[in-house]
Amino acid sequence: MATNTRATIDAGSSNAYSALITELVSQQAQENLRNRLVHAMPGNYTSGRFQKGSNEIRYARYPDLTPLGVADTLTEAGAPAEYDLTITTESFVPKQYGKVLKISDLAQLDSPHDLIAIASERLARAATESMDNIIRDVVAQGTNVMYAGDASARANVGTGSNDNLTGLTIKKAVAKLKAANVPTFADGFYRAIIHPGVEFDLLTDTSANGFLEATKYTKSLDLLNGEIGAYAGVRFLVSPNAKVFTGAGGGSADVHSTFLFGPDAYIVGDSQTLQSYFVAPGGDHSDPIAQVATLGFKMRFGAILRGEGTTGEFDGSNTSTGQPRYLRIESTATAL
């Protein structure tokens, strides 16, 4: 059987558009976002908007007003103090990404498989995994961190005997989020993205801080993609793509990042910016005797953690970006 004789290259395509194939890639990409990937799953993030006339994605939010204290009383017949409603914006510049596949005419003729359909599925998967990876790497840079067990820094995670994730660690993290006034999602829970190795540690925690399976929820909830259940006010989403800092801990131990978050914790570009392309054999002057079919995608995509982008004010005031709405927990994990 002939094989694909053209290498995959990372570049955009400027060739002619084929509606059928490109629609197939786009549909499969959206299906992957809904059903397979966690960081890029709609509902976990807030969408930013492209700002016309710039290359930025912006997110606008409205900081809370400062509450009154016991001394902030009104005087008789006196006018109350006046305050401004501040609109804070955060922005970031997305980057362009792309990938192209080329399949020879002989490969298509000799293969018992539909190579175009297979290539479309692989491209869609590559596009959505790329989105998930980009978001994962952005949120893994967040500096609001706590460490499991006795560790006080990433470099000594793994040097202790209790540096894996436990129910007690989750309870401490939830207390920190609540103390920082981080709101929950509409269902009353925070969410956490964890690695399967961390999942194993959490599920096998035999202490009094044991885990509650999804089947034991006290109220009916539709399971989220990848969800294994809830504990201590957190719904856990398992992903093999959860961030691992390979060899970064004590004794070259792998350090696993658990991302615990509330709504609006991170902002991403709209996944609809994904564009797919197909050029049939003979579709341009570089293929004069119709030997090569070309498929590809490109997207302009990015993400930021709330409060960690470039800030600006519509009203010109100098308002703080506010507290982050996430907490990362760095731990070891049982080797699987």
AA identity, residue 229: G
Alpha carbon 312 to its chain centroid, in Å, reads: 24
Q: Which residues face 296 on adjacent strands?
A: 100, 277
> At the topology level of CATH, where does 144-266+324-331 sit?
hypothetical protein PF0899 fold (3.30.2320)
Could you list the pLDDT tens digit for every one of the 336 residues in the chain?
Answer: 333 433 332 333 333 324 545 555 555 555 555 455 889 888 898 888 777 767 788 877 777 777 888 888 888 777 877 777 777 777 888 888 888 888 888 877 777 777 777 777 788 888 888 889 999 999 999 999 999 988 999 999 998 878 999 999 999 999 999 999 899 999 999 999 999 999 999 888 877 676 655 445 556 677 787 888 888 899 999 999 999 999 999 889 999 999 999 998 998 886 556 777 788 888 777 888 888 888 888 888 889 898 776 665 544 333 345 678 999 999 999 876
Residue 134: both structure tokens together: 């980009």
Residues 6+ apart with CB under 8 A from 12: 96, 98, 100, 296, 298
Q: Where are the alpha helices (DSSP H) in the chain?
A: 19-35, 105-110, 115-139, 167-179, 196-203
d(CA 192, CA 198): 11
d(CA 36, CA 82): 50
Question: Could you tell me which of 121, 64, 133, 164 has the C-alpha nearest to residue 276?
Answer: 121
**Alpha carbon of 275 to those of 123, 194, 207, 282, 303: distances in Å?**
11, 30, 50, 22, 18
Which SS3 state, helix, strand or coil, does residue 324 take? coil
Which SS3 state, helix, strand or coil, does residue 46 take? strand
Question: Could you tell me which of 231, 223, 235, 238 has the C-alpha nearest to residue 190?
Answer: 235
d(CA 139, CA 152): 20
Residue 152: both structure tokens together: 């006080």
- How are beta strands 46-47 and 266-268 bridged, if at all? parallel
The backbone torsions φ and ψ at residue 74, rounded to the nearest 5 degrees and listed phi first, read: -90, 145
The backbone torsions φ and ψ at residue 327, rounded to the nearest 5 degrees and listed phi first, read: -150, 125
Alpha carbon 12 to its chain centroid, in Å, reads: 24
d(CA 305, CA 259): 12
* CATH number attached to the domain at 19-64+85-137+268-313: 3.30.2400
pLDDT at 154: 95
d(CA 112, CA 123): 20
Enumerate the domain spans of the chain: 19-64+85-137+268-313, 144-266+324-331
pTM for this one? 0.78
AA identity, residue 312: G
